[in-house]
Amino acid sequence: MTDTSQIRNFCIIAHIDHGKSTLADRLLELTHAVADRDMREQYLDKMDLERERGITIKAQAVRLAYETGGLAHELNLIDTPGHVDFTYEVSRSLAACEGAVLLVDAAQGIEAQTLANYHLARDAGLTIVPVLNKIDLPAADVEGTTAELAELVGCEPHEVLAVSGKTGEGVTALLETVIAKVPPPEGSGSDPLRALIFDSSFDAYRGVIAYVRVKDGVLRTRAKLHAAAARMDWEAEETGVFAPEATPVPELGPGEVGYLVTGLKDVHQVKVGDTITSQGRDRAHEPLPGYREPKPMVWSGLFPAEGGDYGALRDALDKLKLNDAALVFEPETSTALGFGFRCGFLGLLHMDIVKERLEREFDLELIATAPNVEFHVVGNAEVGVVHNPSEMPQPGTYERVEEPVVLATIITPSDFLGAVLELCQSRRGEMLDMKYLSTTRVEVHYLLPLAEIIFDFFDQLKSRTKGYASLDYESWGYEPSELVRVDVLLHGEPVDAFSSVVHRDKAYQYGRAMTERLRELIPRQLFDVAIQASIGSRIIARETVKAKRKDVLAKCYGGDITRKRKLLEQQKKGKARMRRVGKVDVPQDAFIAALRVDQKAEAKK
């Protein structure tokens, strides 16, 4: 157990690609945490997905030993995800720290994600250490970015450190500054135990492993524990620290960060943000503040491309859920896509990650419906919650619909300001304010419906600003909106997978775009197929796939018969694989293509 005065708990907050993982690698080297031969790039990002995408999905906590001024220090670096989808998880990681290194790429400057996480850290009362990274780059604007950063955190420019995670320049000074400036943790070993769970993982052999920060008291191996929010009792099968590999220690004292093997088999019993205390009379009276249940923001139907894979998809989701407490799902039956699951995600990135893991780790081929937000349907003094556009009641049966709105922060070079404002306006945005960070960069705040954000907004923002603008957002609550459900009908039969809830002003555009696309994708049948878009019983767009007139082999002589028979058998198999909507045969590819363009192309018109 280390004396609290020698402990420093800190995290690094940075925008994607600003060099957080590389800096962490240098810290590991400098403190000899990893033997040279075991060192690899992005050491702390363990998942393939994290390494490929350069993002952090799961939090990590690593203990570093560093001696300075004749004193051995225990530094706990908590590597957090930075993405908006994981804001709650970030806030819990921040709550485990006393200080934050605010890392900014000297060539890129402050980005929206930097700001969002900076505000979270400041609100959590953390000491901020402003640091400029990548000063070795030729494009680095050390002076300009230093000024921006000093302005943001309210310090003198000389207090902003300059490092290069790549060359290691300035990293020692950074460690010294963290020790000098970040306060040691408070808390007493004699108080009742209170430890914060800031993340968890699932190990097939050992069960759920909780990542904890002890606030008060001592967490001992074999201690009888109680989790406040989960209302669960369990025993600490093992306590330990990541140094950086898991290393058992007999106890974790106040201020220390480490792990706890719970032996539990269900990750939902170990909730991020929960407080662990002792059982019985040593139980703490007050849990730590800030616990929240994970709340899905984005929903999508996931269906196996092969109908027979439903069971495999269910098993895969069950397994993923062991490791991902934020993932929720319920069975869904679609007339068009068959049996699948309506899944709730923290955001688009979370959705992408889950989909990719299902396909990659479980070898499934999936069809995903266009993502949608959760709508609140208000009427008769009741609020109905709708996760699936096809379950949205018809107009006239309710008082109003409310949709989630977010406060979006966009930072853009001023050259692209016009394009950014235009995009936000076209997405039903309401501008709150605008501020020049420097003569060339602007920070804009908008209230935007979340539904607009999840619909291709980020890609649009990037393409309109040549990739320079950055976006972050936070929840702003629900607001009433003129939303309607648009259905798509094939030969009079609604196709539930294509139903969408859109703003009244965009309903016609959506209906027309979907019907036009489906006309291209649906093969000709033996009869004219009407493709219609409707609001309630009102048709707002219509296209027709004309009946097919010719499907015959012109020549069929002695040498053609075998091949012809095989072609017919192929054609028959193809037909059997098609999905039937009423009388209309639709190839699976058409569904996939229609859903894909729905997600990608709509706003590009």
Partner 1 sequence: MSVGVYVHVPFCLTRCGYCDFNAYAGLHHLASRYVRALVAEASLAAPVWDREEVVSVFLGGGTPTTLEVENLASVLAHLRDSFDLTSNAEVTIEANPDTVDRPKLAALLEAGYERLSMGAQSFDPSVLASLERVHAPDAVRRALSDARAVGYANVSLDVIYGAEGETLDSWERTLRETTDLEPEHVSAYALTVEPSTPLGRKIAAGLVPAPDPDLQADMFALACEVLGGAGYVHYEISNWAKPGYECLHNLGYWERRPYAGLGAGAHSYRDDRRWWNVRPPLEYLERVESGSLPIGGEERLQPSDAHLEEVFLRLRILEGIPASWVEPERSAPFLESGLLEDRGGVLVPTERGMLLLNELVLALAG
**Shortest spacing between CB 596 and partner 1, in angstroms:** 23
Among 548, 577, 580, 604, binds partner 1 (CB under 8 A): 548
| CA–CA dist 443, 473 (Å, integer) | 13
Given the rule CB under 8 A, which of 127-135, 324-332, 386-394, 547-555 is the region that contacts partner 1? 547-555
Under 8 Å between Cβ of 137 and 108: no
Given the rule CB under 8 A, which of 142-150, 302-310, 509-517, 556-564 is the region that contacts partner 1? 556-564
Q: What is the DSSP letter of 180?
A: H
Q: How many CB atoms lie within 10 A of CB 192?
A: 15
Please report whether residue 558 would count as binding partner 1 according to CB under 8 A: yes
Question: Judged by CB, which is closer to partner 1: 459, or 528?
Answer: 528
Question: Judged by CB, which is closer to partner 1: 434, or 547?
Answer: 547
**Shortest spacing between CB 574 and partner 1, in angstroms:** 10
Under 8 Å between Cβ of 208 and 293: no
**Shortest spacing between CB 531 and partner 1, in angstroms:** 19
Question: Judged by CB, which is closer to partner 1: 504, or 566?
Answer: 566
| CA–CA dist 178, 146 (Å, integer) | 18
Q: Which of residues 92-131 bind partner 1 (CB under 8 A)?
A: none
Find all residues with CB under 8 Å of 57, minimum gap 6, and list them: 47, 49, 50, 81, 86, 353
Alpha carbon distances (Å) from 42 to 23, 111, 384: 9, 22, 45
Given the rule CB under 8 A, which of 104-112, 145-153, 269-277, 543-551 is the region that contacts partner 1? 543-551
Alpha carbon distances (Å) from 568 to 557, 565, 580: 15, 5, 20
**Shortest spacing between CB 515 and partner 1, in angstroms:** 21
**Shortest spacing between CB 549 and partner 1, in angstroms:** 4
Q: What is the dihedral angle through the alpha carbons of 291, 407, 482, 342, rounded to the nearest 10 degrees?
A: -50
Among 157, 561, 589, 604, binds partner 1 (CB under 8 A): 561
Angle at 505 between CA 499 and CA 510, to 5 degrees: 35
Q: Mask of contacts with partner 1, 510-539, x by CB under 8 A? A: ----------------xx------------
Please report whether residue 553 would count as binding partner 1 according to CB under 8 A: yes
Given the rule CB under 8 A, which of 295-303, 339-347, 385-393, 559-567 is the region that contacts partner 1? 559-567
Question: Judged by CB, which is closer to partner 1: 434, or 561?
Answer: 561
| CA–CA dist 392, 318 (Å, integer) | 27
Please report whether residue 555 would count as binding partner 1 according to CB under 8 A: yes
**Shortest spacing between CB 554 and partner 1, in angstroms:** 4
Please report whether residue 569 would count as binding partner 1 according to CB under 8 A: yes
Q: What is the DSSP letter of 146?
A: H
Please report whether residue 571 would count as binding partner 1 according to CB under 8 A: yes
Under 8 Å between Cβ of 26 and 101: no
Question: Judged by CB, which is closer to partner 1: 466, or 546?
Answer: 546
Residue 475's nearest CA partner among 413, 404, 418 is 404
Question: Judged by CB, which is closer to partner 1: 98, or 585?
Answer: 585
Given the rule CB under 8 A, which of 312-320, 504-512, 552-560, 593-601 is the region that contacts partner 1? 552-560
Question: Judged by CB, which is closer to partner 1: 432, or 568?
Answer: 568
Question: Judged by CB, which is closer to partner 1: 39, or 553?
Answer: 553
Question: Judged by CB, which is closer to partner 1: 123, or 569?
Answer: 569
**Shortest spacing between CB 568 and partner 1, in angstroms:** 6
**Shortest spacing between CB 524 and partner 1, in angstroms:** 9
Question: Judged by CB, which is closer to partner 1: 32, or 575?
Answer: 575
**Shortest spacing between CB 569 and partner 1, in angstroms:** 7
Question: Judged by CB, which is closer to partner 1: 327, or 584?
Answer: 584
Q: Which of residues 416-445 bind partner 1 (CB under 8 A)?
A: none
Helices 310-323, 348-361: inter-axial angle, 10-degree rounding: 120
Q: What are the E-state strand segments in 181-336?
A: 194-203, 207-216, 219-220, 224-227, 232-235, 238-242, 246-248, 251-252, 257-261, 275-278, 298-304, 328-334
CA 209 to chain centre: 21
Under 8 Å between Cβ of 8 and 61: no
**Shortest spacing between CB 571 and partner 1, in angstroms:** 6
Please report whether residue 549 would count as binding partner 1 according to CB under 8 A: yes
Please report whether residue 39 would count as binding partner 1 according to CB under 8 A: no
DSSP secondary structure, 292-329, as one string: ------EEEEEEESSGGGHHHHHHHHHHHHHH-TT-EE
Under 8 Å between Cβ of 50 and 61: no
**Shortest spacing between CB 532 and partner 1, in angstroms:** 22
Alpha carbon distances (Å) from 284 to 190, 236, 268, 288: 12, 17, 22, 10
**Shortest spacing between CB 522 and partner 1, in angstroms:** 16
Given the rule CB under 8 A, which of 216-224, 367-375, 422-430, 567-575 is the region that contacts partner 1? 567-575
Please report whether residue 572 would count as binding partner 1 according to CB under 8 A: yes
**Shortest spacing between CB 587 and partner 1, in angstroms:** 15
- The bridge status of strand 382-386 relative to strand 224-227 is unpaired
Helices (H) and strands (E) in the chain, counts: 14, 34
**CB-based burial of residue 558 (10 Å sphere; 0-12 exposed, 13-18 middle, 19+ buried)?**
exposed
| CA–CA dist 601, 513 (Å, integer) | 9
Given the rule CB under 8 A, which of 253-261, 365-373, 549-557, 593-601 is the region that contacts partner 1? 549-557
Question: Judged by CB, which is closer to partner 1: 222, or 572?
Answer: 572
Under 8 Å between Cβ of 442 and 488: no
Residues that bind partner 1 (CB under 8 A): 526-527, 546, 548-559, 561-562, 564-565, 568-569, 571-572, 575
